[in-house]
Amino acid sequence: MKKILPLFLTFLFFSCAEDDVDTMKLQSVYTEIEITNCQSMSFNITSQFGTGSFTCSGNNYTFTTNTYQASVIENTSFIYQLSIVPSSYNFTSCIDLVTKVYHNNSLYETRNYSIGLPPLSCSEIYGVSEMYSMIAD
């Protein structure tokens, strides 16, 4: 019995230890889209926040997406996707886009694109499709 008691006490001590608890953190992500030479074109946009559209006017136009929010386990990754496609393809020249993605109100990444159809020499043909893997903080 004397040999079993220390084993029992050790088991009892460790079985009463508190389990590790994952901490959920609310994450927010949104994108600012800066468009140059937009040719008064309309764009369809899709992301985790849903779908929508906007029409740019003037030579320089800025559109901000709705904020996507999700509760994510701290220090794990989550995906943010964004698609920007013109509603028509009547390009007279390349349309330049700059996307600025913000994670918890801090600039996460900036990307540059140029949209247009051949024979124009643009880097993207039909639109922009982005995917980001972010770490919850």
122 found inside a domain:
yes
Which residue segment(s) compose the domain that 76 sits in? 21-135
Mean pLDDT of 120-132: 89
Number of domains observed in the structure of the chain? 1
User: Would 29 be classed as within a structural domain?
Assistant: yes
Tell me the per-residue pLDDT of 41-78, one tens digit each, with 9 for 90 and over.
999 999 877 889 999 887 889 999 999 999 999 999 99
* Domain annotation covers residue 31: yes
Residue 4 in domain: no
Q: Among residues 136, 125, 137, 46, which one has the least CA distance to residue 84?
A: 46
Q: CB within 8 A of 40, min separation 6: which ones?
A: 55, 56, 57
Bridge partners, residue 86, by sequence: 43
Rounded CA gap, 23 and 38, in Å?
Answer: 43
Single pTM value for the model:
0.80
Question: How far apart are alpha carbons 24 and 29 in whole angstroms?
Answer: 16
Domain assignment present for residue 16? The answer is: no
107-120 confidence digits (pLDDT tens)? 999 999 999 888 88
